Structure 1
Amino acid sequence: MPTSRLARLGAFAFRRRRLVLGAWVGALVVSIALAATLGGTFSADYNTPGSDSKAAAEALETRFPATSPDTIDVVWRTADGTPTAFLQQATKLKGIGPAGEPQISPDGAVGVVRLPLTMLPDEVPRTTGDRLLELGAAADVELGGGVIQQAQQGPISSEAIGLTVAFLVLLVALGTVVAAGLPLLLALFGLGIATGLIMLLAAVLPTPDWSSTVAAMLGIGVGIDYALLILTRYRAAGGGEAAIREAVGTAGRSVLIAGLTVVISLLGLFAMGLTYLYGVALAAIIAVLVVMVGAITLLPALLGFAGPRIERLRLPGRRASHGGGAFAGRWSRAVQKRPWTAAIAGTLVLLALASPVTGLRLGFPDAGNDREETTTRQAFDLVTQHFGAGANGPFVIVAPAAAAEPVASTLRGEAGVASVAPPQVNPAGDTALILANPTTAPESTATEDLLERLRDGRLGEDVVIGGRTAQAVDQAQATSARLPLFIGGVVGLSLLLLLVAFRSVTVALKAAVLNLFSVGAAYGVVALLAQGGWAGQLVGIDTATPVPPFIPVIMFATLFGLSMDYEVFLLSRVREAWLSGRSTSRAVTEGLTRTAGVISAAAAIMVVVFGALALSPEVFLKLIGIGLATAVLVDATVVRLVLVPAVMQLLGERNWWMPRWLDRIVPHTELEAPALSRA
């Protein structure tokens, strides 16, 4: 059998290990240096392009340059007196504009002043938020707003926690300290280089600050997984240059397919048309590509340095074992003996996990979902109790100055509008700003209905409505509208890649369907956690919380790609056995026997890496992390160990169905498994 280009690449990296390691060290140093000199700052515009809320934000930026729809809300009890000293000091901080007129609640018990931001919330320095918290505590006032929410959250290094637990899992799975350290070293190299490149990305494209956390978790998870797959194959082949040729030529091929599938899925985020998701997608893609390339170049070099020493520092009680597991073989045969029972049981489990998804509510959490002891929650509750539920999410109306009074008058006569502030005219005298408080809470469907009524033209053609509440509604609607295109694009492109890789229509379709089941189960778990209750309280979500619209999108893109990882790991071995002459039934048993251990270890690592996000103070990061961890766990157990062998047993030789006309069209590439005996 001719040696593949991947095998030759692995052998080159193994032989020229000093050159390859030097190149990677150089890349790490250069990326850090470039990030330090040319790196940008994280920022994001969460407005939906083409929406009313986006138009309002742009109008405020151009016509009211000192005003922003985002504010710092200063709330105090009137019995304590107006916090004049606090306001004087606060307005001197970077990113904070002049204070508006104080508003006193109808019962006279509480006052509030809104401090407009002079830049996007993500661009306000962290020091500004920290200083406001200090001043607020001294002045006995409560503070609200996104900048305050960000400042009051203590930093937790979920990456460090994930790496630590991942090392322990690797140590148990691989048995020696040296072997366990190599995948971790690859992940650290990838994390360092990707972090530098993401900082450069932030200099040319708006990129949210949390995108680096998502990219780091994804890069660490898949990097360790890919290294584990190649390393296991290398040790099973006995070590040395011949073993690295086999490992990179076979397992390396699986790594390329899996990595490219994740990249394709993440590229689907561009179909959503939300600019801040572009930065998230590219940051995650950078992380995946770096570790993917590292797995087939840096890892062989490290294995060359390690040599026989890879078996040193063995865990007490562990013997060298690189073959398949006897238990996995028995399990596979048991499932294949009763395929219908296994398929039905597995499907019922996935449907049960997915069932809470019917209660999934899209929207942006507000301060009412913060912990009770936080100043943002205290400010939110005070405003709600004394000004009404809608005061925490006012509509920001931008209108021509000449129409300001008629627009304000119309708003005051609308059912569902609690109060309307006097119009504020810009210095040029051509545009007016009006704040209107609904009677219902920002998350209420009644508030959304009111917004739709006000946008039906009754306020005038040149009037636009923005603000955080309108922004959330616009993004939820845009997400719902583009979701079918996004899902269709990701699934379609992934099907094409699998078709090229395995040259089977059945395999590609089965993989897509089962991956959709895994995603559905993850959505169900996220919906259950977001409802609060006993499940949500386990991870610090105490109240019913809407799920930001971008979470299902990011989860789908990530999960669909990651689910393909384990599908590729398993099916590559199955097809390899089938091509060598085994029957489909025996090939499935052999494939599961040889991959169950590595898939279980890889899944355990991914679960702990993603699960570490549950410790994040950000609710949306908790939901993303737990959702991803759940999906990986379900995929590696219910799907790969139950449904895949059961369905493949039922399909028999039909698993490899490929019409001749399609076989002629689909290109032959390095992604295909090498033909061993079958045509």
Structure 2
Amino acid sequence: MAGRLYALGAWAARRRGRVLAVWLLLVAVVGGLGAGFGGSYTTEFSVPGIESQRAQDLLRADFPQAAAGVARVVFAAPKGSTLDAPADRAAIDRGLRAAAEVPGVVAVRPPAQGGGVSPDHTVAYADVQFRQIPDDVPKSAQDALQASMAPVRQAGLTVEFGGTAMHPATHVGGPSEIVGVAIAFVVLALALGSLLAAGLPLVTALVGVAIGVLGVGFTARFVTMTDTATVLALMLGLAVGIDYALFIVSRHREQLADPRTEVADSIARATATAGSSVVFAGGTVVVALAALTATGIPFLSTMGLAAAATVLIAVLVALTLLPALLGWAGERLRPKQARQARAARAAGAHGTGGAAAQSDTGEPRAASAAGPGRGRIGGGEPGRWGAAWARAVTRRPVAVVLLAVVGLGVLAAPALHLRLGLPSNETQPAASTQHRSYDLLTRGFGPGFNAALTVAVDTSKMPRQQRSAAVSGLAAALRHDPDVAAVTPPLANPAGTLGALNVVPRSGPDDQATADLVHRIRHSAADGKQQVEKAGGRVYVTGTTAAAIDVSAKLSAALPLYVGIIVVLAVLLLMIAFRSLLVPLKAVAGFLLSIGASLGLVTWVFQDGHLGGAVQAAAAAPVIAFLPVLLIGVLFGLAMDYEVFLVSRMREHFSQHGQPRAAVVAGVTRSGRVVCAAALIMAAVFGSFVFDGDPIVKSIGFALTAGVLIDAFVVRMTLVPAVLALLGRYAWWLPRPLARVLPAVDIEGASLPAPAAGPEPAAGVPPAAVRRP
């Protein structure tokens, strides 16, 4: 593989104009398709086969009115007064008459008709029903509905909006994301020691993200996709795009620290060595994300495939566009000390008729290349802090392993009581109208009002004369349940084949008592349900709360299979990469520790309610149902990034010198700085999404930030060196039967041709400046 990547890097640097033109054309074409023909996104997390989804499909087919989008307009009286004043009632009537004129509105139910006034008459609500399903209600209609309530606000009343038709939009590319990119640039500049070198990863990452995100938008025209898919593609595209470019640019700068290294050969060699790590790491991320299709959950599959496509684009950009840009940069990326030494050598060679120097365009006139340089990134002495850290970790490896494992176990402990769910309006930003309407309804009608369930009764196979009595009997039975606060009168579709009624629990949407009520309605032998089923009917429970319970159960069931796929994949890929049995097993164990600690922190913050102010979480709530699966897929790929880049340097040193402990120290010394910089960059990018208003995006950003920092600094930079020091030579052992079966893949560049010897240094040039490994 290294040989082919060497040729690819050399070709891209040589044909840099064509490569750049192709990528710019691709950005223009995909950008035009995404901007001009982009599709719409859904906010529903539908899962075929679960009961709540079957009920929702039945309602949409046979009772469209019950499945249409509804905006709930909530009114609240000023403190110390009620809504009984004639002027207040008149203002509400005027507002609702204006709401009835909003395009798409087919019905308005005022508070007086549906029991929509709280017992103390301080809070009331009206339901505005649209013709479209919730996802199809346009933003213009939402804005018009809010504007229609101007008379109510002028009367001094508070007006807030909730309901399925008033879902908040997900926005990307806000100020926090810009801050994250700015922090990433600072880290790049410090790590690479050059503003020009720091800018290249940002440019290539933005190209990849533009193609990936706009391509996802165009795909949404043909595939049902949640709006979270775009955010995930943006997150990963930025993070891995910057990191992959950092790996290659840092290797290039490291090689250029030797003044005898020619720019073109260094580009090709960096693409072959660091690029091999990028291919393995990126391929791992792509496969892990694509494996989300194994869960059998469509919205999760599309999210995974969209993110995987963006990561694949980032890999291709790093292997082609980046070498082309490195070719344009030429000698300007060489560290200053090496550039001065090279200029002095060139002057001396020219004066004595020696070998020709490099051309102004950066093309070599004499074949010369460097192996992995010994200077730190940007030139100078080797990474002193990396060497000191590696020696400290390997000096007491048993104590380090015990301390790290115990610490990660403590962080993982809260995950033992992890609960899964879907976001409700309570978790929306505290300043949003959705959150304020949730609070007002809870205050006026109790916590269960926001957890209302829809019970759908399929009576199509029942005798016509028994349908009404059976549904009414079910409603009466439900009213006697001690956990039910209210049951609305049943409604039937025009054909009389489907009935629907709303059940208001006494507990909130995230309470265990509400989940128990859902299961009891579905499975109990209550007289009303028995009567319906004996007559040939079917009873379904749906609604937002029931859907959250079903989706969580489905994802929990899919989690073991997905973890198994990831573990097998990790062991196989790393065995191929490192020709070792114990290194992959160690990597998987470390990955599982990272996952446990990350989920523990997410549970502690978002479910248990700690540090809510710091992350701007509006309320403590169950963890997003698909977050564990998504975290496992994404973090697995990112963890393997650091594993491959760090351990490949150790393997390279061990192959050359056969000293296992020295190889561990050398690997951390030469790669630790880059791995830490890459982790900080990813943390900056992911962390910027923690301050997004969307609760899903917020929790994903926090989980990935915590996971990356834990995996990079605790697992890869601490546990990995300690464990490999303990294993010694056995770390690189592979049973002969496996060695014969597994393909040999060169990711250290051992198969590359030896670099040609450059001219001797000119007189007066310090020997340290031209030192070769």
**Higher mean Cα deviation, 400-409 or 588-597?**
400-409
Amino acid paired to 2:275: G
The match for 1:121 among 114, 128, 134 is: 134
In the alignment, structure 1 residue 81 sits paired with structure 2 residue 148: no
Q: For residue 328 of structure 1, what is the aligned residue in structure 2?
A: 386
In the alignment, structure 1 residue 382 sits paired with structure 2 residue 440: yes
Q: For residue 130 of structure 1, what is the aligned residue in structure 2?
A: 143
Distance 1:275 1:159 in 2: 28
Q: CA deviation at 1:181?
A: 0.8
Query: Is the alpha carbon distance of 1:97 and 1:275 closer, same or farther for their aligned partners in structure 2, counting shifts above 3 Å?
Result: farther
Q: TM-score of the superposition, structure 1-length normalised?
A: 0.93
Distance 1:423 1:515 in 2: 52
Q: For residue 160 of structure 1, what is the aligned residue in structure 2?
A: 178
Query: Is the alpha carbon distance of 1:21 and 1:48 closer, same or farther for their aligned partners in structure 2, counting shifts above 3 Å?
Result: same
Q: For residue 410 of structure 1, what is the aligned residue in structure 2?
A: 477
Q: CA deviation at 1:541?
A: 1.6
Distance 1:85 1:670 in 2: 75
Amino acid paired to 2:207: F
Q: For residue 565 of structure 2, what is the aligned residue in structure 1?
A: 489
Amino acid paired to 1:366: S
Q: For residue 104 of structure 1, what is the aligned residue in structure 2?
A: 116
Q: TM-score of the superposition, structure 2-length normalised?
A: 0.83
Given that residues 20 and 297 in structure 1 are in contact (C-alpha distance below 8 angstroms), is that contact kept between their aligned partners in structure 2? Answer: yes
Q: CA deviation at 1:240?
A: 1.0
Q: Residue by residue, what CA displacement relative to the aligned partner does 1:283-313 show, whole Å, maximum 9, x if unpaired?
A: 2112101111110110000000110123599
Q: CA deviation at 1:153?
A: 8.5
In the alignment, structure 1 residue 599 sits paired with structure 2 residue 688: no
Distance 2:276 2:687 in 1: 28
In the alignment, structure 1 residue 504 sits paired with structure 2 residue 512: no
The match for 1:294 among 309, 317, 321 is: 317
The match for 1:634 among 694, 697, 710 is: 710
Q: Residue by residue, what CA displacement relative to the aligned partner does 1:154-202 show, whole Å, maximum 9, x if unpaired?
A: 9835432322221121112212221111101101110111122111221
In the alignment, structure 1 residue 71 sits paired with structure 2 residue 70: yes
Amino acid paired to 2:513: A
In the alignment, structure 1 residue 16 sits paired with structure 2 residue 15: yes
Distance 2:443 2:185 in 1: 50
Amino acid paired to 1:46: F
Distance 1:137 1:550 in 2: 39
In the alignment, structure 1 residue 393 sits paired with structure 2 residue 451: yes
Distance 1:97 1:659 in 2: 72
Q: Residue by residue, what CA displacement relative to the aligned partner does 1:638-678 show, whole Å, maximum 9, x if unpaired?
A: 1122111100011111111211112222233465864699x
Amino acid paired to 1:85: R
In the alignment, structure 1 residue 514 sits paired with structure 2 residue 590: yes
Q: CA deviation at 1:18?
A: 0.6
Query: Is the alpha carbon distance of 1:627 and 1:487 closer, same or farther for their aligned partners in structure 2, counting shifts above 3 Å?
Result: same
Q: For residue 426 of structure 2, what is the aligned residue in structure 1?
A: 368
Given that residues 86 and 135 in structure 1 are in contact (C-alpha distance below 8 angstroms), is that contact kept between their aligned partners in structure 2? Answer: yes
Given that residues 453 and 546 in structure 2 are in contact (C-alpha distance below 8 angstroms), is that contact kept between their aligned partners in structure 1? Answer: yes
In the alignment, structure 1 residue 529 sits paired with structure 2 residue 596: no
Given that residues 368 and 381 in structure 1 are in contact (C-alpha distance below 8 angstroms), is that contact kept between their aligned partners in structure 2? Answer: yes
Q: CA deviation at 1:322?
A: 6.9
In the alignment, structure 1 residue 218 sits paired with structure 2 residue 236: yes
Query: Is the alpha carbon distance of 1:136 and 1:171 closer, same or farther for their aligned partners in structure 2, counting shifts above 3 Å?
Result: farther
Amino acid paired to 1:243: S
Distance 1:640 1:345 in 2: 14
| Uncovered stretches (5+) of structure 2, i.e. residues with no partner | 77-82, 154-158, 257-261, 338-375, 460-466, 754-773
Q: For residue 36 of structure 1, what is the aligned residue in structure 2?
A: 35
In the alignment, structure 1 residue 435 sits paired with structure 2 residue 502: yes
Amino acid paired to 1:260: G
Distance 1:146 1:553 in 2: 26
Q: For residue 90 of structure 1, what is the aligned residue in structure 2?
A: 99
Distance 2:543 2:583 in 1: 48
Query: Is the alpha carbon distance of 1:573 and 1:660 closer, same or farther for their aligned partners in structure 2, counting shifts above 3 Å?
Result: same
List aligned pairs for 1:193-232, cutoff 5 A.
193-232=211-250
Given that residues 53 and 464 in structure 1 are in contact (C-alpha distance below 8 angstroms), is that contact kept between their aligned partners in structure 2? Answer: yes
Given that residues 354 and 524 in structure 1 are in contact (C-alpha distance below 8 angstroms), is that contact kept between their aligned partners in structure 2? Answer: yes
Given that residues 335 and 379 in structure 2 are in contact (C-alpha distance below 8 angstroms), is that contact kept between their aligned partners in structure 1? Answer: no
Distance 1:231 1:323 in 2: 18
Distance 1:288 1:374 in 2: 33
Amino acid paired to 1:169: V
List aligned pairs for 1:141-156, cutoff 5 A.
141-150=159-168, 156=174
Distance 1:91 1:628 in 2: 45
Amino acid paired to 1:86: G
Distance 1:421 1:271 in 2: 40
Amino acid paired to 2:314: V
Given that residues 273 and 747 in structure 2 are in contact (C-alpha distance below 8 angstroms), is that contact kept between their aligned partners in structure 1? Answer: no
In the alignment, structure 1 residue 620 sits paired with structure 2 residue 696: yes
Amino acid paired to 1:410: A
**Higher mean Cα deviation, 202-211 or 252-261?**
202-211
Amino acid paired to 1:124: V
**Higher mean Cα deviation, 421-430 or 183-192?**
421-430
Amino acid paired to 1:15: R
Distance 1:312 1:586 in 2: 27
Query: Is the alpha carbon distance of 1:120 and 1:554 closer, same or farther for their aligned partners in structure 2, counting shifts above 3 Å?
Result: farther
Distance 1:635 1:12 in 2: 36
Distance 2:311 2:674 in 1: 19
Q: CA deviation at 1:455?
A: 0.4
Q: For residue 175 of structure 1, what is the aligned residue in structure 2?
A: 193
Given that residues 129 and 151 in structure 1 are in contact (C-alpha distance below 8 angstroms), is that contact kept between their aligned partners in structure 2? Answer: no
Q: Residue by residue, what CA displacement relative to the aligned partner does 1:79-105 show, whole Å, maximum 9, x if unpaired?
A: 232723333333444565423443234
SS in 2 for 1:166: helix
**Higher mean Cα deviation, 571-580 or 140-149?**
140-149
Q: For residue 242 of structure 1, what is the aligned residue in structure 2?
A: 265
Distance 1:639 1:463 in 2: 50
Query: Is the alpha carbon distance of 1:652 and 1:222 closer, same or farther for their aligned partners in structure 2, counting shifts above 3 Å?
Result: same
Q: What percent identity do the matched residue pairs reach?
A: 38
Distance 2:428 2:166 in 1: 11
Q: For residue 308 of structure 1, what is the aligned residue in structure 2?
A: 331
Distance 2:104 2:636 in 1: 40
Q: For residue 643 of structure 1, what is the aligned residue in structure 2?
A: 719
Given that residues 176 and 311 in structure 1 are in contact (C-alpha distance below 8 angstroms), is that contact kept between their aligned partners in structure 2? Answer: no
**Higher mean Cα deviation, 150-159 or 662-671?**
150-159
Distance 1:530 1:137 in 2: 36
Amino acid paired to 1:447: T
Query: Is the alpha carbon distance of 1:147 and 1:592 closer, same or farther for their aligned partners in structure 2, counting shifts above 3 Å?
Result: farther
SS in 1 for 2:420: coil
Larger Rg: 2
Distance 1:53 1:265 in 2: 29
Q: Residue by residue, what CA displacement relative to the aligned partner does 1:337-358 show, whole Å, maximum 9, x if unpaired?
A: 1111111111122122222223
Distance 1:137 1:277 in 2: 40
Given that residues 397 and 435 in structure 1 are in contact (C-alpha distance below 8 angstroms), is that contact kept between their aligned partners in structure 2? Answer: yes
Q: CA deviation at 1:118?
A: 4.2
SS in 2 for 1:206: coil
Query: Is the alpha carbon distance of 1:463 and 1:531 closer, same or farther for their aligned partners in structure 2, counting shifts above 3 Å?
Result: closer
Distance 1:281 1:319 in 2: 35
